[in-house]
Structure 1
Amino acid sequence: MDLIGKIKNKEIFDLLIEADKITRKTHGKKVTLERAIFLSWWCEKGDCKFCYMSSQKDRINNPDKAKRHVKGIYAEAELTKRMGWNIEFLSGGYGIYTTQEIKEISETIYDITDNPVWLNIGITDELDQYGDEIIGVTGAVETANPKFHDEICPSKSIPDIKNMLKTAGELGYKKAITIIIGLGEEIEHINDLFDLIEELEIDRIIFYSLNPHPDTAYHLTPQPASLYYASIVASTRIRFPNIEIITGTWTDNLANMGVLLKAGSNGLTKFPLFKMYGNRFGKRVEEEVYWADRELKGSFSNMNLLKKGNNLRPELEPYIQRYIDMCYDNLDIKRI
């Protein structure tokens, strides 16, 4: 029986067992913690139906005010390094930063972390302007069926994303895509996803479950069923044993993580990091990894790591301390 047939017949646990075996054989037991670093909170396109930024476009008169201070970005990168996390990618809406600005930010983060960064900056034809400061390029596909994609993300065409990623490959960069589960896609759309991965020789796929935001078309849509989400991840792992899979969840769905790890996830993402680190929410993440019989790279609870670093940029210290204070302020948090 094919993978879609197994999903439809609710043979999810068979898929999980097979995917888990493949993951351990091909990738080992390590699990990474991933942190997307956002450069801004505004997008000039602003018409992806699920996206928080679509609710901000008409609220912000001066888009420059949506830019983050670069020192805050660099402080976040420094702390990510101290915690042993990976930077999932640098991300920001369309129409905020120039290519040269993003290149300078990437170069500085490379200096801070000793690791080149992934970019998720939208569709661009200027990838040749970058160098060793980036390792790969992420295309925000979100849903792989072309017709459904045009309904959900009318201004981000799949052909344009494909052309960008093909260029990235020609330039020697790794290629990734993001996919959101729970937008109303059909099971059969997984074939479109597999075709896309195969055609572009994708190295990394980042799955998110729908996080319904106020003032968007999905504000009353519940998040997808955990086992449905896991079945898509497991099917991808089985079909593509060597691909890197990152899975995202939110604080109200932390119990998804164990099953996603069993489904073949290599890393976990989508956390409000400084609200969770060191308190019971961060420790719950570590427990999920433990009970999935996997080994965590980095920490979500060791407060001593926050102040252990060789910061080569003293001007960042106030910004670093601000994030550290936020972690301590949330140690006794009752709800997020």
Structure 2
Amino acid sequence: MKNMDSNIFDLIKKANKTTLNKHGDLITLERAIFLSWWCDKGDCAFCYMSTQKNKIKNPQKARRNVNNIYAEAEMCKRLDWNIEFLSGGYESFTTSEIKKIATTIKNITGEGVWLNTGITDELEEYGSEIKGITGALEVANPKIHESVCPSKKIEDISNMLDVAGDLGFKKAITVILGLGETLSDLDYLIDYIKDHKIDRVIFYSLNPHKDTIYANSSQPASLYYAQVVTHVRLAFPDIEIICGTWIDNLANIGILILSGANGITKFPLFKMFGTKYGKRVEEEVKWSGRKLKGTFTDKNQLGPQKSEFTPELDKFIKRYVKESLKNKY
């Protein structure tokens, strides 16, 4: 698969039909909830956190207030957004703290959550509050992975995912496109998904961060991104595929949905809600012939400026609602 297939549009058409047959026409809005802006490893070459490790003197101060986290989860429920996963850098929270956060979020939303909190050998500590475990594969090329993610060994990620499956958890991987991989690496990615019985693949396009080696890199082309998603969809008709794009690349959404995406992610929810950008997301879904689960524009769904779960969340809920209400097209 070294070159772009000449019949890419035929493949997209086939992938679209496969997705509709297997998954229906519903597209989800996905929201990753971050626990902290600190990572003890902090050496992934593309990651914003790699630029912060030497700047943050007290990692505890990089942790989010847990009530703010719970308020964000409550807002996702109101807007009918899915929680993509809980995400936090290494050593930002302990396993028992993450379990407590996940349990509380399940009480708020009624659903268990996915985790993307790093490689761990403590999966047995978790229960029904966890829906699945995400491994940060990050790049579909093991040599590049070794270079850009030196502290996250693929073998350790793979072992964690295999254990997660043995414990009854679903399994996901994240893959960033634009880190130097090529279409020829699709064979490796497809084999990895097959070998480790992955249930969910989350694709992102590179977001070049200042002060990283990718600062002057460009994001991957839309049809390259689509090509990757198409091949994964056709190889795995039943798998769940989530695609992330950025506010400056919203035009990617339609083609990614037609290529096999079940959900879309990587949006600044409260900054985009009720704006022309939120409207554009909904338009992309509409013109791809899909129905959207959740809303990016209906301000009635924001609800009251106080928590429906506990008064401890009121000040955070108020801020989220007020921020979203003041947005305009």
- Which ranges of structure 2 fall in alignment gaps of 5 or more residues? none
2:122 alignment partner, one of 126, 131, 140: 126
Partners of 2:5 and 2:118 in 1: CA distance: 37
- Using the TM superposition, name which of 207-216 and 319-328 deviates more: 319-328
Partners of 1:226 and 1:74 in 2: CA distance: 35
Cα deviation for residue 83 of structure 1 reads 0.2
Partners of 1:9 and 1:239 in 2: CA distance: 15
Q: Show the counterpart of 1:90.
A: 86
Partners of 1:257 and 1:119 in 2: CA distance: 25
Partners of 1:209 and 1:8 in 2: CA distance: 18
1:325 alignment partner, one of 308, 322, 325: 322
1:163 alignment partner, one of 159, 165, 168: 159
- Contact preservation (8 Å) 1:144, 1:196: no
Q: Percent identity?
A: 59
Q: Show the counterpart of 1:218.
A: 214
1:73 aligns with 2:69: yes
Residues 235-288 of structure 1 show CA distances to partners (whole Å, capped at 9, x for unaligned) of: 100010000000000000000000000000000000000000111110110000
Q: Show the counterpart of 1:152.
A: 148
1:139 alignment partner, one of 117, 135, 140: 135
* 1:2-41 → structure 2 map (5 Å cutoff): 4=1, 7-41=3-37
Q: Show the counterpart of 1:291.
A: 287
Cα deviation for residue 310 of structure 1 reads 7.1
Residues 11-52 of structure 1 show CA distances to partners (whole Å, capped at 9, x for unaligned) of: 221111110010000101000000000000111111111000
Partners of 2:323 and 2:87 in 1: CA distance: 22
TM-score by length of 2: 0.98
Partners of 2:48 and 2:326 in 1: CA distance: 26
1:236 aligns with 2:238: no
1:280 alignment partner, one of 271, 276, 291: 276
Residues 69-126 of structure 1 show CA distances to partners (whole Å, capped at 9, x for unaligned) of: 0010000000000000100000000011100000000000000000000000000000
Cα deviation for residue 181 of structure 1 reads 0.6
Q: Show the counterpart of 1:117.
A: 113
1:99 alignment partner, one of 91, 95, 102: 95
Cα deviation for residue 188 of structure 1 reads 1.2
Relative to structure 1, the CA distance from residue 210 to residue 10 in structure 2 (aligned partners, 3 Å threshold; closer, same or farther) is farther
Partners of 1:88 and 1:104 in 2: CA distance: 18
What's the Cα RMSD here?
1.2
Counterpart amino acid of 2:124? D
Q: Show the counterpart of 2:199.
A: 203
- Contact preservation (8 Å) 1:257, 1:288: yes
- Contact preservation (8 Å) 2:116, 2:134: yes
1:304 alignment partner, one of 262, 276, 300: 300
TM-score by length of 1: 0.96
Q: Show the counterpart of 2:242.
A: 246
Partners of 1:223 and 1:186 in 2: CA distance: 13
Counterpart amino acid of 2:40? E
* 1:168-207 → structure 2 map (5 Å cutoff): 168-207=164-203
- Using the TM superposition, name which of 289-298 and 10-19 deviates more: 10-19
Partners of 1:193 and 1:9 in 2: CA distance: 17
Residues 217-247 of structure 1 show CA distances to partners (whole Å, capped at 9, x for unaligned) of: 1010010000000100011000100000000
- Contact preservation (8 Å) 1:42, 1:66: yes
- Contact preservation (8 Å) 1:141, 1:178: yes
Cα deviation for residue 329 of structure 1 reads 3.1
Partners of 1:264 and 1:164 in 2: CA distance: 27
- Contact preservation (8 Å) 2:123, 2:164: yes
Cα deviation for residue 152 of structure 1 reads 1.3
Partners of 1:78 and 1:251 in 2: CA distance: 23
- Contact preservation (8 Å) 1:209, 1:224: yes
